[in-house]
Amino acid sequence: MNIFWTLVIEMISFGLFIYFFGKVLWKPLMQAMEARRRRISEGLAAAERGQRELEDSVNKAEERMAEARSEAHELLANAQRQANETLERARADARGEGERIVSAAREEVDQAVAQAKEQLRREVGELAVDGAERILKREIDTKAHNDIIDDLVAEIR
């Protein structure tokens, strides 16, 4: 029983099998697993990126919402203020108008009173002159005595 040639044949077989195992089994599987590893890590990275983008857009949306809310607040406040102002102005206008009307009326009344007083004074003066004429039965020098009458009128006032 001599194993020399069996040994040699098996050594050659072993070498050949190493070569073919490497070619048929090892290399393609290693490449496939490497490819899968890369795909998985890429997928994970993409997922992370997506997550981050989602967070970003949520943040942005919230920001925009807050902005819109504050804008709306501002608009509302402006409108309120404008309305108030308008109201205030209208009120002031109305008050002014009323005061103007009242003062005009008062002036008119004053004028009328003054006129009436003037007329009264003149009539009284004339009556007084008339009366004096009648009493004295003579002409009075109107011009000479007008000053006196005016003084009298002023006193009546």
User: Which residues of this chain interact with another protein, rule CB under 8 A?
Assistant: 1-11, 13-15, 17-22, 24-30, 32-33, 35-36, 39
How far is it, in rounded angstroms, from Cα 50 to Cα 58? 12
Spatial contact of 152 and 132, defined as CB atoms under 8 Å apart: no
Q: Is 137 left (phi over 0), alpha (psi -120 to 50) or beta?
A: left
Q: Indicate if the alpha-carbon torsion angle 41, 47, 48, 50 is positive or negative.
A: positive
* Nearest distance, CB of residue 58 and another protein, angstroms: 32
Output 35 or 46, the one with its CB closest to another protein. 35
Shortest distance in whole angstroms from residue 41 CB to another protein: 13
Closest CA to 107 of 96, 95, 97, 115: 115
Question: Which is closer to another protein, CB of 17 or CB of 45?
Answer: 17
Closest to another protein by CB, 27 vs 60, is: 27
Distance from C-alpha of 20 to C-alpha of 18, rounded to nearest angstrom? 6
Cβ at position 72, least distance to another protein in Å = 51
CB-nearer residue toward another protein: 20 or 108: 20
As measured in angstroms, the least distance from the Cβ of 57 to another protein is: 30
